[in-house]
């Protein structure tokens, strides 16, 4: 009889686990993605989100950002934490990233097992959005039958350079043969048409020994992306179209949804429950006094200087930057993290005097608001991807001093492909700094501004209704929801 028929199993409630690698740029963009998902859904109820933070970062985030107030209205969003394995007092720096990576790799499976276990307050996950740097999440997803979409928080051009490392090795273009070899053009990164010299390859390629653990790891992590259901990138088609097409031959399902900061604004409903001011995902306390200082400066008169969250400057480098900035005679806003230099005794009298006269130094700035401020005329940056795309979105041209990892590639594309900045890579003396700032603010300002405004407009189009990033976000959501059943 019909009553003996087994009932169709209830459709699983969609529940995504979002897991960034625990450094500022990655956490920032993955939180933005989470917020976008919430904004795009019809009802909160449509999707549950568990955001997996390292314990260390989570405490800092709660202390320094406004995530608590932003996410508290959304009962279907929650944070969960995972230990990163380092003692809490140890500074997280580029030197222990691999250790953090290995520790997370050991623990992630158990955290996922815990989430899969029946519980009263949450249905089990139905899919994972994992940092594209952590391919062990694909293994974990396979074990629990969960589809995994990778979110790579770097540029498409750097992702592609990483992807081509095995070809570069096979063609004998790597390893780089010392300093005298740095200007050799590489040919094994298809689609870059003679743009890349050895010095423009990812920082991890600057090793004599190809068995270097960081090089090996980045190559492996990148190659694994092809196993994922899809690849999310914080970029837009009009910026990186040709490179994205190269990647599509290997990872067919790419969701370009960036620039995420602009995309978030474009999705905000007119009567928004979100605060009007930029939201903050900072792991350092933002010093908002610099905005008040900026209010008093003339339009486009200030150089903004920041090297991101991980760069640590040598004492000599700091001295050279200090003198270059002071000698350029421009107004400046400089972010000097307490841990970005050995100590603060390096600030010499000359820099101190110039700061009092026409500068402002803070330990951490609300960067997106700074870049959007009319007083900013240019950005001296380390070319981290978030900083780069935030600068492009704000229409601010750059001088690039790449520090490590993806930054060497980004700065080359900024200067030679997109023409929205100048690349001073591998040079750090006061004369170069002064000349570069002068070019940025005066000599090359009109050309750079024209290009960067054009890119900013294309970015805006991409995140507007019917734009490529807008449509890709809708497609991503549809796919995530369909993974529930």
| Single residue of 175, 230, 258, 384 touching ligand UDP by CB under 6 A | 384
Nearest distance in Å: CB 154, ligand UDP: 8
Is 131 a binding residue for ligand UDP by CB under 6 A? The answer is no
Is 156 a binding residue for ligand UDP by CB under 6 A? The answer is no
> Which is nearer to ligand UDP, 309 or 469 (by Cβ)?
309
> Which is nearer to ligand UDP, 222 or 306 (by Cβ)?
306
Is 278 a binding residue for ligand UDP by CB under 6 A? The answer is no
Is 246 a binding residue for ligand UDP by CB under 6 A? The answer is no
Report strand pairing: 302-306 vs 331-335.
parallel
Which span sits near ligand UDP by CB under 6 A: 96-104, 201-209, 362-370, 372-380?
Answer: 362-370
Report strand pairing: 302-306 vs 148-152.
unpaired
Number of residues that bind ligand UDP (CB under 6 A): 19
Is 24 a binding residue for ligand UDP by CB under 6 A? The answer is yes
Which span sits near ligand UDP by CB under 6 A: 8-16, 207-215, 325-333, 382-390?
Answer: 382-390
> Which is nearer to ligand UDP, 367 or 411 (by Cβ)?
367
Is 200 a binding residue for ligand UDP by CB under 6 A? The answer is no
Which span sits near ligand UDP by CB under 6 A: 8-16, 19-27, 353-361, 477-485?
Answer: 19-27
Tell which positions 284-313 bind ligand UDP, by CB under 6 A: 306, 308-310
> Which is nearer to ligand UDP, 140 or 156 (by Cβ)?
156
Which of the residues 15, 56, 131, 323 is marked catalytic? 131
Q: Tokens in use for 262?
A: 């602009």
Q: Tokens in use for 165?
A: 């490392």
Is 390 a binding residue for ligand UDP by CB under 6 A? The answer is yes
Is 415 a binding residue for ligand UDP by CB under 6 A? The answer is no
Which residues face 78 on adjacent strands? 50
Please confirm, yes or no, whether 63 is among the known catalytic residues. Answer: no
Please confirm, yes or no, whether 131 is among the known catalytic residues. Answer: yes
Is 410 a binding residue for ligand UDP by CB under 6 A? The answer is no
Nearest distance in Å: CB 145, ligand UDP: 33
Which span sits near ligand UDP by CB under 6 A: 98-106, 193-201, 218-226, 379-387?
Answer: 379-387
Active site residues: 26, 131
Binding site for ligand UDP (CB under 6 A): 23-25, 28, 282, 306, 308-310, 335, 364-365, 367-368, 384-387, 390
């Amino acid at each position: 009889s019909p009553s003996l028929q087994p009932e169709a199993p209830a459709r699983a409630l969609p529940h995504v686990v979002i897991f960034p690698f625990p450094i500022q740029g990655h956490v920032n963009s993955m939180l933005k993605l989470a917020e976008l998902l919430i904004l795009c859904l019809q009802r909160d109820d449509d999707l549950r989100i568990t955001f997996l933070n390292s314990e260390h970062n989570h405490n800092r985030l709660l202390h320094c950002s406004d995530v608590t107030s932003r996410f508290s209205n959304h009962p279907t969003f929650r944070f969960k934490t995972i230990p990163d394995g380092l003692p809490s007092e140890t500074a997280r720096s580029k030197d222990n990233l691999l250790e953090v990576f290995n520790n997370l790799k050991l623990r992630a499976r158990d955290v996922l097992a815990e989430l899969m276990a029946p519980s009263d307050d949450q249905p089990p996950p139905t899919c994972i959005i994992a940092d594209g740097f952590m391919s062990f999440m694909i293994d974990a997803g396979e074990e629990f039958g969960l589809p995994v979409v990778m979110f790579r928080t770097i540029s498409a051009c750097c992702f592609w350079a990483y992807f081509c490392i095995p070809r570069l090795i096979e063609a004998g273009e790597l390893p780089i043969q010392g300093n005298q070899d740095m200007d050799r053009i590489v040919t094994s990164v298809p689609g870059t048409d003679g743009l890349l010299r050895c010095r423009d390859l990812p920082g991890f390629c600057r090793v004599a020994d190809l068995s270097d653990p960081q090089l090996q790891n980045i190559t492996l992590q990148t190659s694994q992306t092809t196993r994922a259901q899809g690849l999310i990138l914080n970029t837009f088609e009009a910026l990186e179209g040709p490179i994205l097409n190269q990647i599509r031959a290997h990872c067919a399902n790419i969701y370009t949804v960036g620039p995420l900061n602009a995309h978030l604004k474009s999705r905000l409903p007119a009567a928004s429950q979100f605060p009007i001011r930029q939201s903050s995902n900072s792991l350092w306390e933002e010093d908002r006094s610099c905005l008040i200082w900026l209010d008093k400066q003339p339009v486009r008169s200030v150089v903004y200087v920041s090297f991101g969250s991980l760069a640590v400057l040598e004492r000599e480098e700091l001295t050279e930057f200090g003198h270059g900035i002071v000698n350029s005679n421009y107004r400046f806003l400089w972010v000097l993290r307490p841990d970005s230099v050995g100590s603060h005794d390096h600030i010499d009298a000359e820099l101190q005097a110039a700061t009092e006269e026409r500068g402002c130094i803070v330990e951490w700035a609300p960067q997106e608001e700074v870049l959007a401020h009319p007083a900013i005329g240019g950005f001296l940056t380390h070319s981290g991807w978030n900083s780069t795309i935030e600068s492009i979105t704000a229409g601010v041209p750059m001088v690039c001093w790449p520090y490590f990892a993806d930054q060497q590639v980004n700065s080359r594309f900024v200067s030679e492909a997109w023409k929205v900045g100048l690349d001073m890579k591998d040079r750090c003396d006061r004369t170069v700094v002064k000349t570069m700032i002068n070019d940025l603010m005066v000599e090359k300002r009109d050309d750079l501004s024209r290009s960067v405004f054009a890119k900013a407009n294309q970015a805006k189009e991409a995140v507007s209704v019917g734009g490529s990033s807008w449509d890709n976000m809708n497609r991503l959501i549809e796919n995530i929801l369909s993974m529930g059943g």
